[in-house]
């Protein structure tokens, strides 16, 4: 980078060597071992944290210590503790400063984190939901304003950004910042009763998974032609439904399983599906083992599933869709 | 000439123009179903191949089809020029004009198998050979004094003569040409090379649908008793049923109400009813259309899986639906309508297996002849043209540029923004 000072403590060569080692470690701990869904999350967490530490070391070697407290958080499947073997990057950063120079520091840190994670095998996010983007790397005050703006703006994209943020989970730094921001957001939503309806609309399109003849529906076009879109059809109705209930109930946890757990007993009809969802996550780990590219991780080859597995998959499709519709009715009145 | 005969001639003349207008439907259908870089080519080739078909059919085609000869081929009336009038029925030139339009349609269907990869010279040579030696022979067998006409074969407007014959030539072509670049992956899975304009395709289908009233209702060849109205009714019902059935089956099987499949369903209904429109009850026309719409969906999947690249679905729409349409009269022909229009009643009306047998035999014989003859003539074409297919590079840049020197959509093509400044 032009103008950047290079300290002997962590030069580019060392940095790349460390990242290569990290990728090796990723292969060993994630891809060459048997996993449960929980152990898979732990392994990802370790790799991601190490990548963040390395990125911080790199930024510190050039720009010095962080000028303010900050929290680095994951969103998407990482935030929800639902990562598969491969996943892309969805993350952001909050810092306690409104100084412009500090903003540059953290954006730089964000860029180093993106680079490190990419080298560790996490694809860049197509939608640029990453701490290297000014939209996802802001001071606490800016974040608060931005979230209110997103909600008031009430467009499809801005509401989608808000829902993305709700899955935030701090993994490095001052975790409290993320929690405070979430609380403030939940409070703001509470003051505008129609907002929860708008958020419900935002994720209301359920992708059909079962055809008229009780057959599993596969993609008819594109690179995944012939494959079953597991993420959109099976996973998302549960994830999106529980996120909406979490907003309504002001549950700070970002994992879908924890959200199930923390729902009050009045939502018993939803809570009782927790075990089924946990089994779903476990089964997904089995099905997706061996898929070697992020691009293909969310699409299943139906022919590889046994009759029983296909039957179970259909049960989950129906249950998830029913669950989302129940939640939708509940929130939209 | 009696007033009735004059009206007959006028009716058939109008219908011939309607059938010619179906070429406009094919232009939009084919251009819409293929990619932008080939749009000008695919639209333009339809015009000049209609030109070739007209010249060749005039010179020898009509003679082979309707001249005096034997059970297999006609051998007189070449270079048609009969200006004699007739007291009753059609005058020769009106009859010729109407029949010529059918020959041109069969050729356009055949070229469905050429789409997006055949050389321009291959189009020219094969247009001559097909219009002379393939279509007229089948027309002679069924509509002339041929052996299938003698057996009482029912093919009112040409499910076999026009559609199956064209589709078999398309099959031979698509097998010899091999799939388009990028259609299949190394593991054998198919990619969707989507057409560039569904609006064109839909409009093309509607124009074909309108023209089909010339095709089917005009095949009454007379206005007496206004039987053409009944034929039109059956045609409309089958097309409607085909569209609805195809939309339904696509939705039921894939979860998506695919537009191209629905459009092909309408066409399959039309192709299927073409043989049977004068022989069946309206409810049967609906059933024939529904079955046409359903089989076209499965047929499209089948050819895709079988690694037979059929860019405009000619094999499914004209071939498979053409076979079904021809065989359908063997089931559904009513005794009254068969008595009026030829042949005997179908299986469901106590006609036993005899008419069904004739229909199946004709499909097999005509299908086999059209396929083998086309295959051989395509090998001749290949030898004459030094290959049937354009080079890989030409296929990538598109036939608009490689075969004609200019794009159908010049502003939308790569590099078109360069101004030379």
Task: Check if the beta carbon of residue B142 is closer than 8 Å to that of residue B161.
Answer: yes
- Yes or no: say if A263 and A248 are a contact pair by the CB < 8 Å rule: no
How large is the greatest C-alpha to C-alpha distance in chain A, in angstroms? 66
Task: Quote the CA–CA distance of B77 and B92 in Å, as a whole number.
Answer: 11
Interface of A with B in 179-208 (CB under 8 A): 208
- Residue found under tokens 């309508």: B337
> Shortest CB distance from A225 goes to which of B192, B253, B255?
B192
What does the alpha-carbon distance between residue B410 and residue B417 come to, in Å, rounded to a whole number? Answer: 9
Contact A217 B192 (CB under 8 A): no
Q: Convert A29-67 into a string of H (helix), E (strand) and C (coil).
A: HHHCCCCCHHHHHHHHHHHHHHHHHHHHHHHHHHHCCCC
Residues A230 and A241: their CA atoms lie apart, in Å, by 16
pLDDT at B98 over 70: yes
Query: Is the pLDDT score of B393 beyond 60?
Result: yes
Cβ proximity of B247 and B261 under 8 Å: yes
Name the band, by pLDDT with cuts 50, 70 and 90, for residue B415: low
* Angstrom distance (rounded) from CA B134 to CA B105: 13
Partners of A218 on chain B (C-beta within 8 Å) are 254
Q: Tokens standing for A212?
A: 């008229």
Distance between B252 CA and the closest CA of chain A, angstroms: 5
Backbone angles phi, psi at A165, to 5 degrees: -65, -35
Rounded distance between C-alpha atoms, residue B250 and residue B233, angstroms: 26
3-state SS class at A171: strand
> % helix / strand / coil in chain B, to the nearest 5?
70, 0, 25
Residues of A in contact with B183 (CB under 8 A): none
Contact partners, residue A215, CB within 8 Å, separation at least 6? B253
Whole-number mean pLDDT of chain B? 94
The answer to whether the CB atoms of B251 and A212 lie below 8 A apart is: yes
**pLDDT category of residue A291 using cuts at 50, 70 and 90:** confident
Of A211, A225, A226, which has the smallest distance from its Cβ to B253's Cβ?
A: A211
pLDDT-derived band of residue B187, with 50, 70 and 90 as boundaries?
Answer: confident
- Residue numbers of B between 193 and 212 with CB closer than 8 Å to A: 194
Handedness of CA A7, A9, A13, A15 (dihedral sign): negative
Name the residue among B190, B192, B255 with its Cβ closest to that of A211. B255
CB contacts of B258 in chain A (<8 Å) are 220
Contact indicator for A238, A272 with CB cutoff of 8 Å: no
pTM across the whole model: 0.86
Say if the Cβ atoms of B253 and A222 lie within 8 Å.
Answer: no
Nearest residue to B195 via CA among B37, B405, B416:
B37
Chain B positions touching A222 (Cβ under 8 A) are 192
- pLDDT > 90 in chain B, percent: 90
* pLDDT single digits (tens) A162-220: 999 999 999 999 999 999 999 999 999 999 889 999 999 999 889 999 999 999 999 98
pLDDT digits (tens, 9 = 90+) for A108-121: 999 999 999 999 99
Question: Is A214's Cβ below 8 Å from some Cβ in B?
Answer: no
pLDDT of A54 reads 95
Quote the minimal CA–CA distance from B108 to chain A in Å: 28
Backbone angles phi, psi at A275, to 5 degrees: -60, -40
Rounded to whole angstroms, the Cα distance separating A258 from A251 reads: 9
Picking from A220, A228, A296 by the largest number of B CB atoms within 10 A of its own CB, the best residue to mutate is A220
Length of chain A, in residues? 333
The count of other CB atoms within 10 Å of the CB of residue B52 is: 19
Q: How many CB atoms lie within 10 A of CB A253?
A: 18
pLDDT tens digit sequence for A4-42: 444 447 788 899 999 999 999 999 999 988 999 999 999
φ, ψ (nearest 5 deg) of residue A88: -95, 180
For chain A, the straight-line distance linking the first and the last C-alpha, in angstroms and rounded, comes to: 55
Quote the DSSP letter at residue B278.
Answer: T
Q: Of all residues in chain A, what percent carry a pLDDT higher than 70?
A: 98
Residue B64 scores a pLDDT above 50: yes
pLDDT of B420 over the 70 cut: no
Convert the pLDDT of each residue in B370-383 to its tens digit. 999 999 999 999 99
Per residue in A46-91, pLDDT tens? 999 999 999 999 999 999 999 999 999 999 999 999 999 999 999 9
Picking from A38-47, A216-225, B40-49, B290-299, which range would have the lowest pLDDT averaged per residue? A216-225
Phi, psi of B119 (to 5 degrees): -70, 150
């Amino acid at each position: 980078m032009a103008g950047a000072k290079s300290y002997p403590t962590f030069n580019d060569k060392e940095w790349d060597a460390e990242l290569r080692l990290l990728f090796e470690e990723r292969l060993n701990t994630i891809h060459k071992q048997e996993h449960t869904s929980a152990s898979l999350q732990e392994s990802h967490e370790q790799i991601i944290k190490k990548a963040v530490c390395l990125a911080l070391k790199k930024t510190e070697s050039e720009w010095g210590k962080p000028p303010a407290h900050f929290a680095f958080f994951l969103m998407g499947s990482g935030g929800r503790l639902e990562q598969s073997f491969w996943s892309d990057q969805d993350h952001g950063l909050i810092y306690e400063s409104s100084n412009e120079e500090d903003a540059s520091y953290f954006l730089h840190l964000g860029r180093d984190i993106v680079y490190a994670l990419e080298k560790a095998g996490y694809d860049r996010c197509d939608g640029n939901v990453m701490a290297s983007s000014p939209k996802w790397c802001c001071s606490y005050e800016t974040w608060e304003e931005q979230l209110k703006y997103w909600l008031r703006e009430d467009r499809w994209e801005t509401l989608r950004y808000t829902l993305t943020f709700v899955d935030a989970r701090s993994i490095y730094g001052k975790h409290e910042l993320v929690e405070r921001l979430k609380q403030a957001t939940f409070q703001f939503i509470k003051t505008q009763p129609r907002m929860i309806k708008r958020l419900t609309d935002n994720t209301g399109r359920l992708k059909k998974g079962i055809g008229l003849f009780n057959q599993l529906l596969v993609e008819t076009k594109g690179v995944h032609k012939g494959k079953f879109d597991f993420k959109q059809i099976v996973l998302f109705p549960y994830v999106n439904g529980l996120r909406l209930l979490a907003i309504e109930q002001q549950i700070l946890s970002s994992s879908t399983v924890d959200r199930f757990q923390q729902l009050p007993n009045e939502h018993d009809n939803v809570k009782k599906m927790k075990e089924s969802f946990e089994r779903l996550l476990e089964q997904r780990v089995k099905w997706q083992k061996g898929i070697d590219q992020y691009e293909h991780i969310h699409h299943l080859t139906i022919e590889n599933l046994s009759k029983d597995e296909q039957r179970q998959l259909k049960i989950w499709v129906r249950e998830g869709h029913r669950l989302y519709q129940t939640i939708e009715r509940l929130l939209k009145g | 000439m009696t007033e009735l005969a004059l009206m007959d001639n006028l009716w058939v003349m109008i219908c011939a123009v309607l059938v010619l207008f179906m070429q406009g439907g094919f232009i939009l259908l084919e251009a819409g179903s293929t990619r932008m870089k080939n749009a000008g080519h695919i639209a333009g080739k339809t015009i000049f191949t209609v030109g070739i078909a007209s010249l060749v059919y005039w010179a020898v085609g009509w003679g082979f089809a309707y001249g005096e000869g034997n059970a297999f081929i006609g051998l007189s009336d070449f270079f048609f020029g009969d200006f004699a009038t007739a007291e009753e029925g059609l005058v020769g030139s009106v009859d010729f004009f109407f029949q010529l339009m059918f020959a041109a349609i069969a050729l356009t269907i055949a070229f469905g198998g050429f789409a997006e990869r055949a050389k321009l010279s291959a189009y020219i040579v094969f247009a001559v050979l097909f219009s002379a030696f393939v279509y007229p022979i089948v027309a002679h067998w069924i509509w002339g004094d041929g052996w299938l006409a003698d057996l009482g074969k029912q093919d009112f407007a040409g499910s076999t003569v026009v559609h199956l014959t064209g589709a078999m030539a398309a099959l031979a072509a698509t097998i010899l040409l091999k799939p388009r670049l990028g259609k299949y992956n190394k593991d054998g899975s198919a990619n969707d090379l989507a057409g560039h304009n569904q609006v064109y395709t839909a409009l093309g289908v509607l124009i074909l649908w309108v023209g089909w009233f010339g095709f089917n209702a005009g095949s009454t060849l007379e206005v007496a008793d206004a039987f053409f109205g009944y034929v039109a009714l059956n045609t409309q019902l089958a097309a409607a049923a085909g569209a609805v059935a195809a939309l339904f089956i696509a939705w039921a099987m894939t979860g998506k109400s695919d537009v191209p499949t629905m459009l092909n369903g309408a066409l399959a209904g039309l192709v299927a009813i073409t043989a049977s429109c004068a022989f069946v009850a309206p409810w049967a026309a609906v059933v024939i259309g529904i079955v046409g719409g359903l089989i076209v969906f499965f047929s499209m999947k089948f050819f895709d899986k079988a690694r037979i690249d059929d860019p405009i679905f000619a094999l499914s729409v004209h071939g498979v639906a053409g076979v079904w349409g021809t065989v359908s009269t063997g089931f559904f022909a009513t005794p009254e309508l068969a008595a009026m229009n030829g042949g005997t009643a179908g299986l469901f009306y106590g006609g036993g297996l005899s008419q069904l047998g004739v229909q199946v035999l004709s499909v097999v014989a005509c299908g086999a002849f059209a396929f083998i003859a086309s295959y051989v003539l395509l090998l001749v074409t290949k030898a004459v043209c030094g290959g049937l297919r354009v080079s890989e590079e030409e296929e990538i840049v598109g036939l608009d540029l490689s075969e004609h020197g200019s794009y159908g959509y010049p502003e939308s093509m790569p590099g078109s923004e360069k101004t030379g400044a």
